[in-house]
Structure 1
Amino acid sequence: MSKEVRQLREALGARLRILRKDGGFASGRAFAAATKWQESKVSRIENGRQSASEQDIRLWCEKADAQDQVEDLIATVRHIEELWLEWRRQLSNGAAPRQERALPVYAKTKVFRIWHPTVVWGTLQTAEYAAETFKQVIDYYEIPDDAESAVAKRLERQQYLYRGDRMFHVLLAEQALYTHFGGPDVMRGQLDRLLAVMTLPRLSLGIVPKRAEMRIWPGNSFSMFDSKLVLVETYSAEFSVTQPREIALYAKAFDLLKTSAVYGRAARGLIRSALEGLG
């Protein structure tokens, strides 16, 4: 969960707590009895540890005699939900539509800052490597199998590596060179691809060695698009960060990760070592 989502949940919970007390329920236990909920549910909502549904809000306001607050509170809940997009919902029609939605963002972005601790960034992937990653996505989320279309849309993003005056600052942890998809042949092609793209004038590719001293914990992968948007991926969701103060934290994290990275000849050496390990 992003810091922004957590703070919004906590603020909503504090507001609901005030309504509960103003409605004559001095304790969460008394309110739980009135709503026929578990007392723990009231506590989790009030402390921002659980999302309140729209139905929860309506019942809360009914019992607290605060029906005039329903519309505003539901708008708040919907805003929180918009910040936390479930992967299953995003991928309900397959993986390709999600890849296609990324294209306008790429077209508008001038400076990319990318951190991937375990996997090669999608825009630098070969078709074979991408296909293997999408097979796992399709199996894991149990979504329609449109891997071929998804690969085509992902590879379409590569046009931006060669067009315009965009700058790509990409950081991979050394582990990304060893996370196997599709066997040795697929991995050889992918590692060769990384060596090739390192020559692109507008791409800066850094590798964080596995023994590098870290100035910040690796965390989740994230993609920064100028200083306007950050996308963070987890197993269950992708969330968007748009608040300037939070974006600044990701920019700071990226700069700290960069201090642990190697570039140029040293980075090529790490990639070649991974290639040699394939036999």
Structure 2
Amino acid sequence: MSTDYQQAREALGARLRELRLSSPTGRLTGTQLADQYGWNKSKVSKLENGRQTPTPDDLRKWAEATGQPEAYDELLARLRGFESHIRSWRRQLAAGHKPVQDTHLSAHADAALFRGWESSMVFGILQTPDYARSIFSRYSELQRSPRDIEQAVLSRMRRQEVLYDPSKRFHLILWEAALRALVCPPSVLASQLDRLAGTVGMSTVELGILPLSAPLKIPPATAFWMYDDRQVIVETWHAELWIDDDASVDTYLRTWKTLQESAVYGADAHNLISAARRALPPH
């Protein structure tokens, strides 16, 4: 997917270069274009060679500077096309965490079968308010995003209502390391583990725990969600990948099934959660 993204960015850059060289008011040099808007002189080169993603405002200014303002809609459509698959956190979180949670809430609405793999923290859809609050606070600091923590927590709690919809099914696998990661105070993690133990018997949730001691066929790497085997959402440090091409979705499905082979369920999963609870430091 990153290759497709880069190819699309390079194609947009080539189109920008074409507009600059075919300006009806006369050929515009990169330096002239940069000076017109006070840009760093390397910015034009980076945009044209696909080494930097333009903002909508960059595209508007480019179209106007090259004397072809009618090209703006085309340029914006190209940008939106590849950004629908690669959604940078910088842009998504510009207005805070709540809009991102609302987007996922909307995505849940049309799906009936969810598969999830998480290696480092408890799934958002199973989090307690205090645990979610800690997670949002940590990521807000990392991404330097607006601190709309309480609004984001409320949106995440609304997402959890889908767990009680009998038409939905959640097949989730959690690495044991996530049960022990102190991304929050021990008292908060204790309550979170209690909440997690209560989901083991839910009719809509099939929760598997992949033990740290389990033999693995593949490394337990990046977390992801699958919606109805037709779309995958992968979180990285810089962006979310929204993947919908059949070959890539099939790869993630095989990955999920391979990890599932090493997971334990029912009483065994409950025992691992209880062991993590007992191992918590005093609080």
TM-score range, shorter chain: 0.7 to 0.9
Given candidates 231, 240, 251, the residue that maps to 1:238 is 240
Q: Within 5 Å, which residues of 2 pair with 1:239-258? A: 239-258=241-260
Q: What is the total number of aligned residue pairs between the two structures?
A: 265
What residue number does 2:164 align with?
162
CA distance in 1, matches of 2:243, 2:117: 15
Give the drift of 1:91. Answer: 0.9
List per-residue Cα deviations over 1:43-86 (Å, max 9, x = no partner): 9x87x887689989xx9xxxxxxxxx999888555523332111
SS in 1 for 2:190: helix
Identity score, percent: 36
Structure 1 residue 207: deviation in Å?
0.8
| Secondary structure, aligned partner of 2:122 | coil
Q: Judging changes above 3 Å, is the alpha-carbon distance between structure 1 residues 171 and 7 closer, same or farther for their aligned structure 2 residues? A: farther
Corresponding residue SS for 2:95? coil
Change (3 A) 1:50 1:150: closer
Q: 250, 253, 274: which is aligned to 1:272?
A: 274
Q: Provide Cα deviations, 1:186-230, integer angstroms capped at 9, x if missing partner.
A: 010000011101110121101111122222222211111112221
Give the Cα separation in 1 of the matches to 2:103 and 2:171. Answer: 22
Q: 2:241 & 2:12 partners in 1: Cα distance?
A: 19
Task: Return the alpha-carbon distance in structure 1 between the equivalents of residues 82 and 207 of structure 2.
Answer: 35
CA distance in structure 1 between the aligned counterparts of 2:129 and 2:228, rounded to whole angstroms: 27
**Cα deviation, residue 145, structure 1:** 1.6
Aligned position for 2:180 = 178
Indicate the SS of the match to 1:217: coil
Asked if 1:210 is matched to 2:212, the reply is: yes
CA distance change for structure 1 residues 252 and 11 in 2, over 3 Å: closer, same or farther?
A: farther
Deviation at 1:170, TM superposition (A): 0.5
Measure the CA separation in 1 of the matches of 2:242 and 2:123: 18
CA distance in 1, matches of 2:78, 2:111: 29
Query: Residues 118-142 of structure 1, C-alpha deviation per residue, up to 9 Å, x if partnerless?
Result: 1100000001100000111221122
Structure 1 residues 229 and 214: CA distance shift in structure 2, 3 A: same
- Tell me the TM-score normalised to structure 1 length: 0.77
Change (3 A) 1:73 1:148: closer
Instruction: Give the partner amino acid of 1:5.
Output: Y
| Unmatched tracts of structure 2, length 5 or more | 19-40, 63-70
Change (3 A) 1:70 1:166: closer
Q: Does the aligned pair in 1 maintain the 2:201–2:266 contact within 8 Å?
A: no
Structure 1 outlier segments of 4+, above 4 Å: 6-13, 48-56, 69-78
Residue 84 of structure 2: SS of its match in structure 1?
A: helix
| 1:5 aligned onto 2:17 | no
In the TM superposition, residue 169 of structure 1 has moved relative to its aligned partner by: 0.5
> Distance between the aligned counterparts of 2:6 and 2:217, measured in 1?
25
Contact 2:166 2:204 in 1 (8 A): no
Aligned partner letter, 2:142 = Y
Q: Quote the Cα distance in structure 2 between the aligned partners of 1:72 and 1:99.
A: 29
Structure 1 position 200 matched with structure 2 position 189: no
| Superposition RMSD in Å | 3.5
Q: What corresponds to 1:138 in structure 2? A: 140
SS at match of 1:92: helix
Amino acid at match of 1:170: L
CA distance in 1, matches of 2:6, 2:213: 33
- 1: distance between equivalents of 2:3 and 2:207? 28
Taking a change above 3 Å as real, the CA distance of residues 52 and 204 of structure 1, as seen in their structure-2 partners, is same
| 2: CA distance, partners of 1:52 / 1:134 | 28
